Structure 1
Amino acid sequence: MTDTTTTIADAATPAASARPWLDASLPVDERVELLLAEMTVEEKAGLFFQTMIVMGEGGELSEGDAAFGIPSNREYVAGRHMNHFNLLGVAPKASDIAAWHNKLQELAASTRLGIPVSISTDPRHSFSDNPGAAMFAGPFSQWPEPLGLAATRDAELVQRFGDIARQEYTAVGIRVALHPQVDLATESRWARQLQTFGEDADLAGELGAAYVRGFQGSAFGPGSVSTMTKHFPGGGPQKDGEDPHFDYGREQVYPGGQFELHLKPFEQIFAAGGRQIMPYYGMPVGTEYEEVGFGFNKGVLTGLLRERFGFDGIVCTDWGLVTDQPIMGTDFAARAWGVEHLTPAERMVKILDAGADQFGGEHDPSLLLGLVRDGRVSEERLDVSARRLLREKFELGLFENPYVDVEAADAIVGSPEFRAAGEAAQRASIAVLSNDGVLPLRRGVKLYVEGIAPEAVAHYGEIVATPDDADAAILRLQAPYEQRGSMFENFFHAGSLDFPDDVVAHVRAVSSVVPTVVDVFLDRPAILGPIVETAGAVTANWGANPDALLDVLTGGSPATGTLPFDVPSSMAAVEASRPDVPFDTADPLFRFGHGLSL
């Protein structure tokens, strides 16, 4: 068992007496200045980089991952003076993450100044595996995606989720959440809706603020997880709904003149004390702002964020704006929209001038050091961001106690209480969209199912092999999306919202034989008309296991979920709508807030 009273000062050399910034009785600002005065330019530069890191097997330090171009843990911390990392991948046991985290902190403590590491993560409580957006839950409790939390319209539930996630994250040493995502889902085709709170600005702000309060706690400090809200100034209005990881999705457009509306959720985040911000890849087109990606955009980051909203927290760019590193072995690299022609050094200067503090997904401090040596970036400019970054570590209590209790991690992460809360939220989020009387299903009936493991149905009915033998059928579908040219592109579900003809025909064939329930994982608002016309009932989920779904379908739990966005009536209506304007598709099939009770 790791002694949780061990401190950086105990583990590091030289003695703590030579490190006055470790005196916890001093004000944080004074401690920051004491440490900053001792730092070399190389040590300051290391603060500016936050990138992916991997852990070794069984909680050991890693020698890196050549396939992803990730150096060893030791090279990062001791060689490059870096101490902000996004943990990549899922471990089977929480105690392995905790053990690795402690070894990484011991490595940090052995460096000259003993600056502790800050570990961040993309969401870890979900059903989706989308690199750069979320990952499977693994040992963590499993909850609906944020769209599902929005379907509950329950700010108390969202704050409870944040509080549970905070306890699970801190148990393994994760202290920065690269979420929530409060972009507005105003473009029905947009690929990143699943991690948002939907189409309504007021609801997104209310739930986003509750999320932040849950993660950061009643007072920001040693028990908190710092939230990095994204994607400022709102990433929803993408031209044709395409994702700006890719050049064909780089334009963010405002034909309805609703730029200000997309700022509204962020105002509630600021009021709730959100600590960090990530700007989006996209570039604004046809606005008063420079047509460059938001990470390079001084009018947005300094003019809007720093000056208008008075935000003095950390701003970290989205990943890979500087060095055009290829994405997962694809041909897609540059996300430096509008400044593709600039060299990596010139991009870095522009990002710093815009007002950002960290380069997301970058791991080469030598580039920044060269700019300082050449006089293109002053050490005084480094100090501005270094103060913010060090202040966060001090306020999180990492200098006093960076370590976690390895033996306690498995009992906390994914505890029965936390799993039960996640399952209750799954049930609460399921929305019944149509029902001709087939719901609720009677327990014990003969069921034909697709997309559900047969063993999951045993408590609810008798599995049969064909629709002809069934009293009812349950088909689980994924909302449609277009297949693109690479694996990475297909992580981002984009393009047409129409179900393929063969899927519609199959639903029609089953429904013609037996009363049929179709449950759709509605990560985007699919064109459901052909399914609704055919099936006896249609439900929507945003992350629900079979037990949660079947419990609602059989009336064991009430149907309480409601739509977090409009469901359009046709692709023609989607294509005619303005991507920055909420609720803009003509004659939607179902309105925001629709949901039937059983």
Structure 2
Amino acid sequence: MTRTQFLHSDGVGFRDLNHNGRLDPFEDPRRPVAERVEDLLPRLSAEELAGLMFHTVIEAGPGGELLAGPGRISKSATRDVVVGKRMNHFNVHALVDVRQAATWANRLQDLACETPHSIPVTISTDPRHAAAENAGTSWSSGFFSQWPDALGLAALGDEDLVRTFADVVRREYVAVGIRAALHPTADLATEPRWGRQRETFGQDHDLAARLTVAALQGLQGDRLGPHSVSATTKHFPGAGPQADGEDAHFPYGRDQVYPGGRFDEHLHPFEAAIAAGTAAIMPYYGRPVGLVLDGEPVEEVGFGYNRQILTGLLRERLGYDGVVLSDWELVNDNLVGEQVLPARAWGVEHLGPEERMLKLLDAGVDQFGGEECDELLLALLADGRVGRERLEESARRLLRVKFELGLFDAPFVDVDAAPDAVGTPEAVELGVTTQARSVVVCADDGLLPLAAGTRVWLDGVAEDAVGAGLQLVQRPEDADVGLVRLHAPFEPRDDLFLEAWFRQGSLDFPPGLRHRLARLPCPLLVDVRADRPAVLTPLLDVARALTVSFGVSDGAWLLAVTGEVPPEGCLPVSFPKSMAAVRAAREDVAGDADPLFPAGHRVRIQPVR
């Protein structure tokens, strides 16, 4: 272990962060955060300032070891980025279990003590508390309590519940050393085809604003402190209105459009997040096309490069002085194995990496997401194209968050206590109950709730999820009801890195599905596992009952359809009648596609007697 010494001076205990044997102002836990930041800033070398301004991917090794070389996605050995490049903000991907996660976090913090000022590491994560996984946007971590997707929470529309959920997330993250959340997602799900809706709170701007604030309160508390998780609200100024529903991760999805003139509605949840004190904001990749603000056309470059958006709108008009973290890989292409994902330099593809970095800095970005090219920033500093004062401007905001989180004073976690703090029986039970409650009944002719003793045949439902109240049969002709769970449709793609994880394209089910279901010799209860809307019209004449779920396990769904935990969800997004209706709709207007089931739709079922 190389942890900094804990010393005493003038009656106060402190960590000797710069290893000089005396109490310096930035090490003094009694002093105000602003004073500690201002004392530390001039002490930092150019390399330390630059290191603060990168937030890249990191991976944990087996048994909580630090990786000695590159990982599956991470580009460098852990020691190289922490000690060599002086970086200390990392987005962690897969974690195996609680003890290994906590052990790894402590080893990472211990490694940071080898740097000149022992600047502690801030470990961040994308959402982890739902069962679904989408590399680059969310991770499945079964040792945490499992809840519905954000869309499922929006189906219940309960601010207190979201606050409680986010508080559980906070406690579980802190126990394993994760102190930054790359969420909540405040985007509006107004384009039915867009592939990232499951992370959002739906299409209604007022509901999304209220639930975003509740999530922030649960993660951060009234203000950041030693037990908080700092939140990054994304993706400013609202990533929902993607042209034709394509995602801006990919070149064909670079454009954001506002044919309905609803820019202010998409901005609204971010205004609420700023008022609630979000620690950081992440702009999206998309470039606005045809957008006019305050009478001025907005430059058609990605939002991270866009000075009118980040400085003019975010900093000046909205008064935001927190961290601006760019989305991932705006400077360099990402090569993983045989696949490449071009830098999301939409509108500035013609610029080289140095010029892209300059444009990001000029726009108002504090941190480069997914990059570790510190040599570019240091070269710009050495050449005088960027001044030290610009680096200090961003470093000041970044250090302030670290100090407020208490990381300079207590970065380590209790490995032995972590297993008892994560996935507690109370949190697990509440998560499962919330999943069941969030199920939306879209249609029912009296089939629901399923009575005890009902003989059921399964398609897409795990046999071990069926409780004692139902009788499992192996042939549909022997069943009283067939239970069918379908994934919402999408068009598989796998040319560019990450494409395979994004569910994009048409919302139509394959044409043969309806015919296959119609041939089954028993009444059907069909559930659609929805990470975005689907065209449900063909299912209505083959299903006696139809439900929609958002990140709900088989066991929780069965609790809902048997009435053991009555389903209460209302659709948080409209489900369109046809793809023709989707293509005719305006991307920025909620519910503009002619709906089969509008947002708010719900069929109430009779309670179990």
Match of 1:123 among 102, 127, 142: 127
Corresponding residue for 1:85? 90
Aligned-partner residue type, residue 468 of structure 1: E
1:51 aligns with 2:56: yes
Paired residues of 1:562 and 1:595 also in contact (CA < 8 A):
yes
Paired residues of 1:328 and 1:488 also in contact (CA < 8 A):
no
Corresponding residue for 2:197? 193
Paired residues of 1:9 and 1:15 also in contact (CA < 8 A):
no
Shift of 1:328: 6.2
Aligned-partner residue type, residue 101 of structure 2: I
Corresponding residue for 1:255? 259
Shift of 1:533: 2.1
Q: Tell me how far apart the structure 2 counterparts of residues 265 and 10 of structure 1 sit (CA, whole Å).
A: 40
Q: Tell me how far apart the structure 1 counterparts of residues 331 and 457 of structure 2 sit (CA, whole Å).
A: 52
Q: Tell me how far apart the structure 1 counterparts of residues 340 and 546 of structure 2 sit (CA, whole Å).
A: 39
Q: Tell me how far apart the structure 2 counterparts of residues 383 and 5 of structure 1 sit (CA, whole Å).
A: 27
Corresponding residue for 1:311? 320
1:171 aligns with 2:175: yes
Paired residues of 2:95 and 2:101 also in contact (CA < 8 A):
no
Match of 1:444 among 435, 450, 453: 453
Aligned-partner residue type, residue 335 of structure 1: R
Q: Tell me how far apart the structure 1 counterparts of residues 467 and 102 of structure 2 sit (CA, whole Å).
A: 37
1:369-426 Cα offsets, whole Å, 9 max, x none, are 0000011111011110010011110011001100111001111111111111111110
Shift of 1:9: 5.2
Shift of 1:227: 0.4
1:78-135 Cα offsets, whole Å, 9 max, x none, are 10000000011121x2111111111111111222111100000000101111011101
Q: Tell me how far apart the structure 2 counterparts of residues 180 and 16 of structure 1 sit (CA, whole Å).
A: 41
Paired residues of 1:176 and 1:226 also in contact (CA < 8 A):
yes
Q: Tell me how far apart the structure 2 counterparts of residues 370 and 4 of structure 1 sit (CA, whole Å).
A: 31
1:471 aligns with 2:480: yes
Q: Tell me how far apart the structure 2 counterparts of residues 429 and 266 of structure 1 sit (CA, whole Å).
A: 25
Q: Tell me how far apart the structure 1 counterparts of residues 270 and 468 of structure 2 sit (CA, whole Å).
A: 44
Q: Tell me how far apart the structure 2 counterparts of residues 490 and 78 of structure 1 sit (CA, whole Å).
A: 34
1:527 aligns with 2:532: no
Q: Tell me how far apart the structure 2 counterparts of residues 124 and 457 of structure 1 sit (CA, whole Å).
A: 26
Shift of 1:11: 7.1
1:65 aligns with 2:81: no
Shift of 1:310: 0.4
Matches within 5 A, 1:367-386: 367-386=376-395
Paired residues of 1:10 and 1:16 also in contact (CA < 8 A):
no
Instruction: Calculate percent identity across the aligned residue pairs.
Output: 51
Find the residue that maps to 2:471 and give its secondary structure.
strand
Paired residues of 1:167 and 1:412 also in contact (CA < 8 A):
yes
Paired residues of 1:77 and 1:108 also in contact (CA < 8 A):
yes
Corresponding residue for 2:508? 498
Corresponding residue for 2:294? none
Find the residue that maps to 1:407 and give its secondary structure.
coil
Paired residues of 1:16 and 1:22 also in contact (CA < 8 A):
no
Q: 1:4 to 1:138 in 2, by over 3 A?
A: farther
Unaligned runs of 5+ in 2: 8-12, 292-296
Paired residues of 1:477 and 1:520 also in contact (CA < 8 A):
yes
Corresponding residue for 1:99? 103
Corresponding residue for 2:344? 335
Shift of 1:76: 1.0
1:32 aligns with 2:37: yes
Paired residues of 1:185 and 1:565 also in contact (CA < 8 A):
yes
Moved more, 438-447 or 64-73: 64-73
Normalised to the residue count of structure 1, the TM-score between the two structures is: 0.97
Aligned-partner residue type, residue 287 of structure 2: M
Moved more, 486-495 or 318-327: 486-495
Match of 1:407 among 403, 412, 416: 416
Q: 1:66 to 1:55 in 2, by over 3 A?
A: closer
Q: Tell me how far apart the structure 2 counterparts of residues 269 and 131 of structure 1 sit (CA, whole Å).
A: 26
1:545 aligns with 2:550: no
Q: Tell me how far apart the structure 1 counterparts of residues 260 and 17 of structure 2 sit (CA, whole Å).
A: 57
1:567 aligns with 2:575: yes
Find the residue that maps to 1:120 and give its secondary structure.
strand
Q: Tell me how far apart the structure 2 counterparts of residues 6 and 531 of structure 1 sit (CA, whole Å).
A: 66
Matches within 5 A, 1:335-354: 335-354=344-363
Paired residues of 2:166 and 2:219 also in contact (CA < 8 A):
yes
Shift of 1:347: 0.4
Paired residues of 2:517 and 2:542 also in contact (CA < 8 A):
yes
Corresponding residue for 1:593? 600
Paired residues of 2:59 and 2:74 also in contact (CA < 8 A):
no
Aligned-partner residue type, residue 122 of structure 2: S
1:21-51 Cα offsets, whole Å, 9 max, x none, are 0111112111111111111111100000000
Larger proportion of helix: 1
1:20 aligns with 2:30: no
Match of 2:518 among 508, 517, 534: 508
Shift of 1:191: 0.8
Q: 1:154 to 1:51 in 2, by over 3 A?
A: same
Find the residue that maps to 1:17 and give its secondary structure.
coil
How many residue pairs are counted as aligned between the two chains?
Answer: 594
Aligned-partner residue type, residue 443 of structure 1: A
Unaligned runs of 5+ in 1: none
Find the residue that maps to 1:230 and give its secondary structure.
strand
Aligned-partner residue type, residue 213 of structure 1: Q
Aligned-partner residue type, residue 167 of structure 2: D
Larger proportion of strand: 2
Aligned-partner residue type, residue 586 of structure 2: R
Shift of 1:454: 1.1
Q: Tell me how far apart the structure 2 counterparts of residues 248 and 415 of structure 1 sit (CA, whole Å).
A: 44
Shift of 1:485: 3.4
Aligned-partner residue type, residue 556 of structure 1: E
Q: Tell me how far apart the structure 1 counterparts of residues 18 and 300 of structure 2 sit (CA, whole Å).
A: 49
Q: Tell me how far apart the structure 1 counterparts of residues 314 and 15 of structure 2 sit (CA, whole Å).
A: 40
Q: Tell me how far apart the structure 1 counterparts of residues 60 and 558 of structure 2 sit (CA, whole Å).
A: 37
Find the residue that maps to 1:62 and give its secondary structure.
coil
Find the residue that maps to 1:589 and give its secondary structure.
strand
Shift of 1:18: 5.2
Aligned-partner residue type, residue 24 of structure 1: P
Match of 1:299 among 298, 308, 312: 308
Paired residues of 1:6 and 1:403 also in contact (CA < 8 A):
no
Moved more, 310-319 or 21-30: 21-30
Match of 1:430 among 429, 439, 453: 439
Paired residues of 2:223 and 2:277 also in contact (CA < 8 A):
no
Q: 1:504 to 1:519 in 2, by over 3 A?
A: same
Q: Tell me how far apart the structure 2 counterparts of residues 518 and 16 of structure 1 sit (CA, whole Å).
A: 68
Paired residues of 1:141 and 1:413 also in contact (CA < 8 A):
yes
Q: Segments of 4+ in structure 1 off by > 4 A? A: 3-13
Normalised to the residue count of structure 2, the TM-score between the two structures is: 0.95
Paired residues of 2:64 and 2:101 also in contact (CA < 8 A):
yes
Aligned-partner residue type, residue 321 of structure 1: L
Q: Tell me how far apart the structure 1 counterparts of residues 469 and 585 of structure 2 sit (CA, whole Å).
A: 42
Q: 1:5 to 1:520 in 2, by over 3 A?
A: farther
Shift of 1:596: 1.5
Moved more, 321-330 or 143-152: 321-330
